[in-house]
Each structure stands twice: as C-alpha cells, then as structure tokens.
Chains A and B, each alone.
Chain A
Amino acid sequence: MNIVVLVKQVPDTWSERKLTDADHTLDRDSADAVLDEINERAVEEALLIKEAQGGEVTVITMGPDRATDAIRKALSMGADKAVHLSDPALHGSCAVQTAKVLATLVGTVEGAELVIAGNESTDGRAGAVPAMIAEILGWAQLTQVRKLEVDGTTVRAERETDTGIANLEASLPAVVSVNEKINEPRYPSFKGIMAAKKKPVSTLTIADAGIDASEVGLANATTTVLEAAPKPPRTAGQRVEDDGTGGTKVAEFLVGQKLI
C-alpha cells in the first residue's frame, strides 16, 4: 500500500515566532525552521505500516526552498521519496487553498490510498487541512487519531477528543490525522541520514503541478489576517507569604476570581 505523509516545516516552538509587519504572514527569517514534531509522528506511523505491510511512503510538502530540510528529515527517518511544491505565488495561501493544492499533489502519487497528516500544525494551528483534503478527494476522514490500524482495505482508528474516545472504521482510500499520542518518532539512523540525499525529491512549481496562480496566494486567500498583536506578557501575579494563614488567603483569592 502506498502512503502519503503531509509534512510541514514550521518555526521551532522554542524560538521567538513572529508575523511580518508588512502582510501579517509568518516571518520565516526570525526563527529556526524545523519539521513539525507532529509530522514526525505522522511519518513514523506511515513507516510502521510500511514495515509491517510493504508499500512505499511519499512525503509531500508545500513550502519555501528551505523546506527541503524538513523533507530530508522525513527521508532520513525512512520515507522513500518526496514531492516538494515551492513557488513564490503560494505565499500567504489560506487553509482552503492549501488543502486544494495538497489534494492535487496527493493525486500525482501513484497508487496512494492512505494519507497521514498531523492533526494540527504548531504554527497555524487551524487543524482543518486534513479534513478539507479528505473532502476534496472524496476520501474517508479519520481525524484526531491516537491509534491506527490498517487491515486489508479497512482502516480502524481511535479518535481522541476533549469529550472522549470514538472508535472509527472506514474503507480505503482514507485521510488520517494523528495526535501526539500516536507514537514516539524514531531518530534517524546514520544509514538513514546518509541515504536521504540519494532519495528522489521532485521539486515542482505550481505550473508543474497544473495549479493556476489565481487559486493560490495572499491576494486570492479566503481569509486574511488584518491585525496581529503578541499576547501580553503574563503579569507577575499575587504573592502569598505563608505565615500560617496561606491556605485561607489562597482560598480567598480563588473565591475572588469566582473559581470556587
């Protein structure tokens, strides 16, 4: 079975992340770029399925040239090949445009029956792209998954939400999005690292992919960020010295905040 993993390069959560003043899109120069950790888990899940059942794992990313680093990381973990869509026209694309583009790219991968993605990127955090891709492709969608099993043409999954666990079952083809409990991603082995550079990466422009410029980019986006402000820093809070009455003071504080 051929699996497609959707990976995204994001600014490292440990570095300072900013939007540009000019158009409120991500300031990619201000932070280190890394393969989104949730995508490492998506790659890991695809590799586990491949190792058990055979097939090929293709990673797809849409992002600027330096997103090749994220691709290499996925390839060094063991993915077989990659498709990298890189085009200045993509700058500022919204979630809907992104989903359409990615769905088009999935269509170029021969024999792809299963798409695995992260449930939510650590930068945009829309959490919508995998479901939209499933919708566009007309494939089953199993989102927010913490456990996945592929048995013949049947996919079974456990979806975890704030309210509980749902057991899902669908037939291939399907789009799955995984949460951080799905697995522990492997470290790339030295051989994996050395092999990564020799694996095929097809780098496409939107023209190569048959996508029209009017379907993508900031100017045609369905949503636009009008204003952005950093979260105000946390205020120091109130300090309670415990002179024996500490417990009472904490309780009074919580009552004051209508928390108890």
Chain B
Amino acid sequence: MNAFIETEERRALRAAVAALGARYGHEYFTAKARAGEKTAELWAEAGALGYLGVSVPESYGGGGGGIGDLAAVCEELAAAGAPMLLMVVSPAICATVIARFGTDAQRARWLPGFADGTTKMAFAITEPDAGSNSHRLATAVRRDGDEWVLDGGKHYISGVDEVEAVLVVARHVSATGERLAPSLLIVPTDAPGFTFRPVEMDLVSPERQFTCFFDGVRLPADALVGSEDAGLAQLFAGLNPERIMAAAFATGVARRALAQAADYARTREVWGTPIGAHQGLAHPLAACAIQIELARLMTQKAAALYDSGQDGAAGEAANMAKYAAAEACVATVDQAVQVHGGNGLATEYGLGSLLGASRVMRIAPVSREMILNFVAQNTLKLPRSY
C-alpha cells in the first residue's frame, strides 16, 4: 500500500507546472482580470507543453494520463496564483465526455485540440428555473429529420466568449411533448440562434459568466455525444472529474493564501515579536494547513478511484473532496485576510479579491448543501426532504 505517495512522474509534473505558474504568477493573473483580458499566454504555453492535455488519450495526441494528473496541473497553477477556471470544464468535463462516449469521428474532431489546448469548450447545465435541481432542466432538444433542434436557456456559464463550442445539457422531447432523458450536445458558439450575454459578477477573474439563449438552434446529427437514452450516467462521468478539478482548484487557491499568510505572520511585528507567535493567529493557520492537506488527500483519492474506473466510489469521494476543499479554501482565505490586518484588503496583497473567488468554490459546480444532501442520502441512507 503506497498509494498515499504520488508517483515520481506526478511529482515531476507538479514541479514543472509550478515553475511555469511561478513565471506568470498572481500579478499577471490580476492584471489580466482587471484589464478584462484572458490569461491566454499561460493557457497557450501550458497547452503546448501538454499540461492541459495530460488526460487526453495518447492516440489523439494527449498525455495518456488521468484526472489525477490534470488535477495536479490545475492545483499547481492555482497555488502559483494563476488559476485557470476553464480547466475545470474544458479538458476535465468536455474532453472526458467526448473521449468516453464520443464516436470515433467526434474524437478525431475534438480530442487533438484538447490535447494541446488549442480547443476550448464550455459546459452548460445550470438553468435559471432549475438551479440545483437538475430534474427540472427545461432546455429541450427534439429531432427534426437528420438534425437536432435546441431551445431553452442557461445561466452562469463560464467562458462562452472564449470557446469554440459549448457542451449543453438538454432533455429530449418526444413527438408528443413528453420530457425524456437528458443528453449532451456540442453547440458551436457561432451557431445561428445561439446568443449569449455576460452576467456582471463581483469577481476578479479573467473568465466571465454568461446567460445563454438557444432559439431554435439547428445542429447536425453528430452534435449529440453518447447515446440518446443514456441519461444521467453519462453526464456524471463528466461531473466527477469536474468535482475533482474544482477541489484541486480550491486547494491550490488555499495553498497560495496560506503560504502568503504564513510568510506575513513570520515577519510582521507589532508587539516586538512576529504576529505569527500569537496563538490567536498561529492556531487558525495551523488548522487551515491541516484542512488543506486533508482535502488534497481526498482529492487524490477521488482521482485515483476515478482513474481506476470506479465511477460509483469516485462519485462519493469526489463530492467529499469538493466539499472539504471548498471549506478549506473559504477558511484559509478568510484567515489569510485576517492575518494581514488592513493589508488583507489592499489590492497590493492580492487577498481581498480571493474572498469572492473562494466563495465560488462553496457554490459551484455543486453547492455545499447539495453535497451534504448527497452524503446524507447516499452514504448515511437518510431520508430526503425535497
């Protein structure tokens, strides 16, 4: 039993990504975000080095690794101060779903671009009227001859302005209007009838969120990924990696905040001794370090389960990891701000903007409460209230 230690290659990957991330860093990230620009240079360089395509099959130009490798990349970039939100959707959900359920033609069309990062795809499930209740999804797809016709809308969809296509979750509707199983459709952002507009967010982030409208969008037969009646099983094959990636993203942000807080607490003196000597600051920081490490461990476990093909066990672990990572992130950013006193809210220290970012982790892609519901019902077999 040595699975608690990452392989030599995984550690080498982390070191290489950390070095790349350090060259860009948090100043680059916030400068881009505040200028309304994307971290395109970092994305391109990470893509060219194969870091964004680590989990794409080798036969399509990818690294042939697993979600554990991709999560390591995501975490290290976040820990370097340059997190890339679209890693959570494009390579993790979209590439995974296409690799697992796509046809050979769909794989050949999309995977090489995911392998080197030149293709980006967004993922859209959230709807205004459905929220956390994916059974209420209203976006509908119906067959018309050889084509599919998509109608409906989504909101809070990240990155629509910078992707080639969006992987949209929609429900089939029968000829009689009956709602059937959900499916995944690849919708090019320039498809006629597809419009989107940004949601103004109080977040300092290069990636933006969008409200999407699908108004009789006609799509070719091969826009559908997977079988028409596969339902939620296929969807969850993509959502487990998403949760693992969200957890990795959150622990990366948390690690950075913790390192910065510890640095500050070691040097800042107000009573003739470094403030880190006061247990009122030292203990919460130590507790954050423990929370982060536990969340990382659970994230690695979830990834190991997923990569060994155990979707069911991976689902529980991925949800637990995502919960733990989000809570670690919120607690650590909060404490890092506190440790910095007034500086914690000054732009120069780059922590105030993390307050919002860390809260995203508690809400998306699945909220804290929905994870607790999942664990209550699935792990503890408690009755559901809703």
Q: Which residues of A contact B (CB under 8 A)?
A: 72-73, 76, 187-191, 193-194, 196-197
CA–CA, A64 to B254, complex, Å? 36
Residue among B16, B64, B69 facing the most chain A CB atoms (10 A cut-off)? B16
Shortest distance between the CB of A28 and any CB in chain B (Å): 19
Cβ–Cβ contact A193 & B19, under 8 A = no
Q: Is A190 within 8 A of B8, CB to CB?
A: no
Closest to A34 in B: B15
Q: B69: nearest residue on chain A (CB-CB)? A: A190
Q: Could you tell me if B12 and A187 are in contact, using CB atoms closer than 8 angstroms? A: no
Is residue B13 contacting chain A, with contact meaning CB distance below 8 A? Answer: yes
Query: Given contacts A188-B16, A190-B63, A193-B13, could you give 19 more A-B pairs where the C-beta distance is less than 8 Å?
Result: A72-B8, A72-B12, A73-B12, A76-B12, A76-B16, A187-B16, A187-B49, A188-B49, A189-B50, A189-B51, A190-B13, A190-B50, A190-B51, A190-B53, A190-B65, A190-B69, A193-B16, A194-B63, A194-B65
- How many angstroms from the CA of A85 to the CA of B99 in the assembled complex? 44
Task: Let me know if B78 is at the binding interface, CB within 8 A.
Answer: no
Give the residues in chain B near A188, CB-CB below 8 Å: 12, 16, 49
Alpha-carbon distance between A188 and B69 when the two chains are bound, in angstroms:
15
A191 to B69: give the CA distance in the assembly, Å: 12
Q: List 27 A-B contacts (CB under 8 A).
A: A72-B8, A72-B12, A73-B12, A76-B12, A76-B16, A187-B20, A187-B49, A188-B12, A188-B49, A189-B49, A189-B51, A190-B13, A190-B49, A190-B51, A190-B53, A190-B54, A190-B63, A190-B69, A191-B50, A193-B9, A193-B16, A194-B9, A194-B64, A194-B65, A196-B9, A197-B8, A197-B9
Which residues of B46-90 have CB atoms within 8 Å of chain A's CB atoms?
A: 49-51, 53-54, 63-65, 69
* Distance in angstroms between the alpha carbons of A58 and B69 in the assembled complex: 28
B16 touches A191 (CB 8 A): no
When chains A and B are docked, how far (Å) is the Cα of A188 from the Cα of B16? Answer: 6
Question: Using Cβ atoms and an 8 Å threshold, which residues of chain B touch A194?
Answer: 9, 63-65
Nearest Cβ in chain B — how far from A46, in angstroms? 19
A196 CA to B9 CA, complexed, in Å: 9
- Tell me whether A187 and B50 are in contact (CB under 8 A): no
CB closest chain-A residue, reference B70:
A190
Residue of A nearest to B19 (CB): A187
A199 to chain B, nearest CB (A): 13
B25 CB → nearest A CB, Å: 15
What residues of chain A lie closer than 8 Å to B13, measured between beta carbons?
A: 190, 193
Which residues of B sit under 8 angstroms from A76, Cβ to Cβ? Answer: 12, 16
Q: Which residues of the other chain, B, contact A187 by a CB distance below 8 angstroms?
A: 16, 19-20, 49
Interface centre among A187, A191, A193, A194 (most CB of B within 10 A): A193
Contact call B20/A193, Cβ cutoff below 8 A: no
Q: Of all chain A residues, which has the CB nearest B12?
A: A193
- Residue with the highest number of chain B CB atoms closer than 10 Å, among A72, A73, A190, A191: A190
Give every chain A residue within 8 A of B63 (Cβ-Cβ).
Answer: 190-191, 194
The distance in angstroms between the C-alpha atoms of A196 and B7, with both chains bound, is: 13
A196 to B51, CA, bound (A): 16
Q: 8 smallest A-B Cβ distances: which pairs? A: A190-B50, A190-B63, A189-B50, A189-B49, A193-B12, A190-B54, A188-B16, A187-B16
Distance A181 CA – B16 CA, assembled complex (angstroms): 21
Chain B, 1-40, contact with A by CB distance < 8 Å: what is the 0/1 string?
Answer: 0000000110011001001100000000000000000000
Instruction: State in angstroms the CA–CA spacing of A46 and B54 once bound together.
Output: 26
* Nearest neighbor of A195 in chain B, beta-carbon distance: B9
Residue of B at shortest CB range from A68? Answer: B8
In the complex, A190 Cα to B9 Cα: how many Å? Answer: 9
1/0 per position for B93-125, CB-CB distance to A under 8 A? 000000000000000000000000000000000
A72–B10 alpha-carbon span in the complex (Å):
13
A58 to B: closest C-beta gap in Å: 20
| Distance A191 CA – B64 CA, assembled complex (angstroms) | 9
- Interfacial chain B residues near A190, Cβ < 8 Å: 13, 49-51, 53-54, 63, 65, 69
Shortest Cβ distance from A184 into B: residue: B23
B54 proximity list for chain A (CB < 8 A): 190
A193 CA / B16 CA spacing, docked (Å): 9
Instruction: Enumerate chain A residues within 8 angstroms of B16, measured Cβ to Cβ.
Output: 76, 187-188, 193
Tell me, in angstroms, the Cα distance from A99 to B69 when the chains sit together. Answer: 40
**Closest residue of A by beta carbon distance from B53:** A190
Minimum CB distance partner of B23 in chain A:
A187
Which A residues are CB-close (under 8 A) to B65? 190, 194
Please name all residues of chain A whose beta carbon is closer than 8 Å to the beta carbon of B8 when the two chains form the complex: 72, 197
B13, B19, B53: most-surrounded residue (chain A CB, <10 A): B13
Q: How far is the CB of A128 from chain B (nearest CB, A)?
A: 29
Docked Cα-Cα span, A238 to B337, in Å, equals 34
Say how far B178's CB is from chain A's closest CB, in angstroms: 46
A91 to B54, CA, bound (A): 40
CB distance B12 to A196 under 8 Å?
yes
Report Cα–Cα, A76/B54, bound state, in Å.
15
Interface 0/1 of B251-283, CB less than 8 Å to A: 000000000000000000000000000000000
Query: What residues on B are CB-neighbors of A197 within 8 Å?
Result: 8-9
Find chain B residues with CB under 8 A from A191 CB.
50, 63
